[in-house]
């Protein structure tokens, strides 16, 4: 222990004697370790840390497997059947796929509050208890049962002043009284793959009505496995219950169904971000490797200057192992100083990462600098310190005393083996920076391709907002349509407004879907479609082009013949060219009694699920022709679009809606252009971070190349002076030194591009409109790195041309 303390004291004194070297080495290692700590904290929060529920590893999610893709939801009937008949579940719950909303009146003007419908066992399934009150009862979750809600901690604080007597009291939501049965714990979050439900204010009972004729997959199913039940056993049990469903409800399962899959809940909610996070984690690992190599080169240069000191210690009897340990201790001190700098800035860095993360990033709780992150940072610092110092320390500890005494430090510093090692490390730095830069370039090109995709509509000067249509206030389809017409009239009368429309779900939002039967030219087919209800001016307002036939008209009322408009993807799926118009489509009995509608128009494809996703087959129904049952299935809420000559203000819209109905509160006001921009957020997040890491890697590689070449010039001063004394021109010296540096750089570029071509396919799922082997990206990276390398080499090469031959020749 005494010798360790002695090594530490001596190491601290040596580092303090060389503040310039110490500062550069610590900063370099801090950059490498810091990027790793920041990304690992995100990986830890999303992929490694258990969800904030007891025994969360027993939570699973059920999803259908179809030929057209997986459907992460179930129908009300399927949920009820599995919950009742499964032998593998301790409990199960259904959750609305998307938050809805209420208009809250609590002594102030109406406020729109986010709400999420859940079945009565939702909180029991998660093993979460309200901090006040209780969860829902079976009576509250049945149709026409007592109206009850559970409040979020934030709403309880904000609107009810944390009043503990709120339990049992009635609050007014959508003009009706609801009893508050509970208040959730502070910070409670529920995560879905597409949203983090952290801003939900009110939780309400779903009150499901199992209907074998309704195939709307509108609910996520979450279950808790019984203790001792493995996922494979639960999967077999699901298959058994599915066979019972097929037997008890003939014809319920849709065409193309391939079964049901259970996946761990954490894996389900993080599925879309797992690969991007691991790629970022690998990228920062390469940054740390480059930083470590850089510091190793610095330490090697310093080791040469310390050879007389080491020679004296060895001559006085110090063992090679003792010297090796002393030198490694100094490098570990450097690394831990870098780690200390990292931990000082870690919280700020993590919060900056979260600010960059796209909305809906599946993080349950704030990323924390917890014990796992601290241990990771410690080991990264230790590994970097050992890696950076091992080779130089080993070489110094094996010093040849006789050679050192006779020839001094220059003999060792100029050794060909040392030069090759330094050049090899510089080559590795360049190669790794090329690999990272290629990945960043591909992601940037992919983002650019996304930004140039035609969404199928014109988002400019288009304002959007949501209104929720509470069934208590709007009991019939006629009442809803009457309200929508009043609002549309007010919106259309605003100055500068060109047109306005209402639709059940905006493009880029998930809406209601189901299977429709289409009869065209005597041929019948079943198509899984997105279903949208829309007012007559919807296509005009969105500027979605009409391809064939007509759009909706004001004459398409409830008493007129039933009609529908489909998009081109629908037409391609079910109808031969030219046969779409006049075809008959029929929604299942559970939707609207099996009524037949004539397809009267075909419109262009709009991006319904995302800019990078192909447009799904979409069926549009006139809002005025929806019956009481269908309007509730399609219009759980309403989305509004207003096209104007200049962007509208939110207050203008609020006043217009209040004039039509003072009981409705406007929610989620935004421009459509902003929503389109938001759809790029995941790609932008990856492109920004990869670009930052690649830029840092290139900077470190350039510094490393500069350092190696500068050291080479310093050790070859005598040779350069001799060459110039014998008649070499300055341009000859410049070319010689530049050639040495550029050879190292170009070999690194070649190796890096080979690695990039081999590994870039790992980015395939993250790219859009660009191939992993895109020649433009490869050429661009090669050009950028070559130019940076030329700049890094030019400065020491220029310095070499200024060597005074007389001074250099006097140096022995």
- For the four alpha carbons of 453, 457, 461 and 467, in that order, the dihedral sign comes to negative
* Average pLDDT for 639-644: 93
Give the phi and the psi of residue 80 in degrees, each rounded to 5. Answer: -60, -40
* Average pLDDT for 457-471: 88
Model pTM score: 0.83
- Over the chain, what is the mean pLDDT? 83
Give the phi and the psi of residue 767 in degrees, each rounded to 5. Answer: -100, 150
Q: What is the DSSP string of 314-356?
A: HHTT--HHHHHHHHHHHHHHHHHHHHHHHHHHHHHHHHHHHHH
Q: Which residue has the tokens 């001559």?
A: 315
- Residue 448: the pLDDT is 92
Is the pLDDT assigned to residue 540 strictly greater than 50?
Answer: yes
* Average pLDDT for 411-434: 77
**681-700, pLDDT tens digit by residue?**
888 999 999 999 999 999 99
| Confidence tier at 21 by pLDDT (50, 70, 90) | confident
CB 63 within 8 A of CB 261: yes
Is the pLDDT assigned to residue 411 strictly greater than 50?
Answer: no
Q: How far apart are CA 243 and CA 484, in angstroms?
A: 44
CB 222 within 8 A of CB 60: yes
- Residue 409: the pLDDT is 46
- Residue 809: the pLDDT is 60
3-state helix, strand, coil in the chain (%, to 5): 55, 20, 30
Q: How far apart are CA 283 and CA 440, in angstroms?
A: 10
Which stretch of 205-209, 318-322, 470-474 has the lowest confidence by average pLDDT? Answer: 318-322
**258-299, pLDDT tens digit by residue?**
778 899 998 888 888 888 999 999 999 999 999 999 888 888
Q: How far apart are CA 705 and CA 384, in angstroms?
A: 19
- What does the longest C-alpha to C-alpha distance in the chain come to? 108
**702-757, pLDDT tens digit by residue?**
998 888 888 777 777 767 777 777 777 778 778 888 888 889 899 999 999 999 99
Specify the DSSP class assigned to residue 648. P
If phi > 0 it is left, if psi is from -120 to 50 it is alpha, else beta; for residue 564 that is beta
* Average pLDDT for 786-806: 82
Residue among 75, 117, 55 at smallest CA distance from 266: 55
Is the pLDDT assigned to residue 211 strictly greater than 50?
Answer: yes
**232-259, pLDDT tens digit by residue?**
999 898 888 888 877 777 656 665 667 7
Give the 3-state secondary structure of residue 699: helix
Q: How far apart are CA 421 and CA 219, in angstroms?
A: 61
């Amino acid at each position: 222990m005494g010798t360790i303390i002695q090594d530490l004291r001596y190491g601290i004194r040596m580092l303090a004697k060389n503040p310039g070297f110490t500062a550069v080495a610590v900063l370099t290692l801090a950059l490498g370790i810091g990027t790793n700590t920041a990304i690992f904290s995100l990986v830890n929060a999303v992929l490694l840390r258990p969800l904030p529920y007891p025994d969360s590893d027993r939570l699973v999610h059920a999803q259908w497997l179809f030929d057209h893709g997986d459907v992460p939801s179930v129908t009300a009937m399927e949920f009820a059947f599995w919950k009742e008949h499964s032998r593998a579940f301790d409990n199960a719950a259904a959750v609305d796929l998307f938050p809805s909303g209420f208009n809250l009146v609590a002594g102030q003007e109406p406020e729109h509050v986010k709400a999420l419908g859940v079945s009565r066992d939702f909180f029991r399934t998660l093993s979460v208890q309200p901090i006040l009150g209780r969860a829902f009862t079976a009576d509250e979750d049945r149709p026409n049962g007592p109206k009850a809600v559970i409040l979020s901690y934030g709403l309880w604080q904000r609107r009810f002043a944390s009043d503990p007597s709120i339990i049992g009291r009635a609050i007014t939501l959508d003009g009706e009284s609801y009893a508050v049965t509970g208040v959730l714990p502070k910070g409670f979050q529920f995560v879905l793959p597409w949203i983090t439900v952290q801003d939900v204010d009110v939780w309400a009972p779903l009150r499901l009505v199992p209907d074998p004729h309704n195939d709307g997959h509108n609910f996520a199913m979450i279950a808790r496995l019984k203790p001792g039940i493995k996922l494979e056993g639960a999967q077999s049990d699901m298959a058994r219950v599915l066979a019972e469903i097929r037997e008890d409800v003939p014809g319920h399962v849709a065409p193309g169904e391939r079964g049901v899959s259970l996946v761990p809940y954490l894996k389900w909610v993080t599925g879309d971000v797992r690969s991007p996070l691991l790629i970022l984690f690998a990228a920062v690992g390469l940054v740390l490797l480059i930083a470590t190599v850089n510091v190793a080169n610095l330490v090697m240069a310093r080791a040469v200057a310390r050879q007389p000191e080491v020679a004296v210690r060895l001559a006085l009897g110090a063992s090679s192992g003792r010297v090796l340990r002393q030198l490694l201790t100094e490098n570990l001190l450097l690394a831990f100083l870098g780690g200390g700098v990292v931990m000082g800035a870690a919280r700020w860095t993590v919060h900056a990462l979260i600010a960059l993360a796209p909305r809906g990033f599946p993080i349950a709780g704030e990323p924390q600098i917890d014990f796992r992150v601290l241990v990771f940072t410690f080991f990264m610092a230790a590994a970097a310190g050992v890696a950076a110092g091992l080779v130089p320390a080993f070489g110094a500890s094996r010093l040849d005393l006789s050679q050192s005494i006779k020839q001094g430090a220059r003999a060792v510093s100029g050794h060909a083996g040392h030069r090759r090692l330094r050049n090899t490390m510089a080559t590795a730095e360049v190669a790794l920076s090329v690999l990272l830069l290629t990945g960043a370039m591909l992601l940037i090109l992919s983002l650019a391709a996304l930004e140039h995709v035609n969404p199928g509509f014109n988002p400019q000067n288009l304002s959007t907002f949501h209104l929720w249509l509470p069934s208590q206030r709007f009991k019939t389809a006629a009442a809803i349509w009457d309200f929508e017409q009043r609002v549309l009239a007010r919106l259309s009368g605003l100055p500068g407004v060109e047109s306005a429309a209402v639709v059940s779900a905006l493009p880029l939002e998930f809406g209601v879907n189901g299977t429709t039967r289409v009869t065209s030219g005597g041929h019948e087919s079943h198509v899984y479609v997105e279903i949208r209800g829309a007012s007559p001016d919807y296509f005009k307002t969105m500027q979605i082009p009409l391809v064939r036939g007509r759009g909706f008209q004001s004459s398409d009322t409830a008493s007129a013949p039933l009609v529908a408009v489909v998009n081109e993807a629908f037409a391609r799926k079910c109808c031969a060219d030219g046969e779409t118009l006049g075809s008959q489509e029929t929604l299942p009995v559970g939707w609207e009694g099996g009524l037949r509608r004539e397809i009267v128009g075909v419109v262009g494809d709009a991006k319904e699920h995302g800019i990078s996703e192909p447009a799904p087959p979409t069926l549009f129904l006139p809002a005025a022709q929806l019956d009481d049952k269908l309007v509730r299935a399609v219009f759980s809420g309403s989305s509004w679009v207003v096209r104007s000559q200049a962007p509208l203000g939110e207050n203008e819209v609020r006043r217009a809606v209040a004039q039509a109905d003072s009981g409705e509160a406007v929610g989620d006001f935004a421009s459509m252009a902003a929503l389109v921009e938001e759809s790029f957020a995941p790609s932008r997040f990856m492109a920004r971070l990869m670009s930052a890491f690649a830029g840092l890697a290139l900077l470190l590689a350039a510094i490393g190349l500069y350092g190696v070449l500068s050291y080479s010039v310093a050790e070859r001063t005598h040779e350069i002076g001799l060459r110039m004394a014998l008649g070499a021109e300055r341009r000859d010296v410049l070319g010689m030194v530049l050639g040495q540096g550029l050879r190292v750089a170009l070999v690194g570029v070649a190796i890096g591009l080979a690695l990039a071509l081999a590994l870039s396919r790992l980015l395939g799922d993250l790219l859009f409109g660009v191939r992993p082997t895109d020649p433009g990206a490869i050429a661009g990276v090669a050009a950028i790195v070559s130019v940076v390398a030329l700049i890094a080499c030019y400065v020491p090469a220029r310095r070499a041309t200024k060597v005074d031959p007389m001074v250099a020749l006097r140096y022995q």
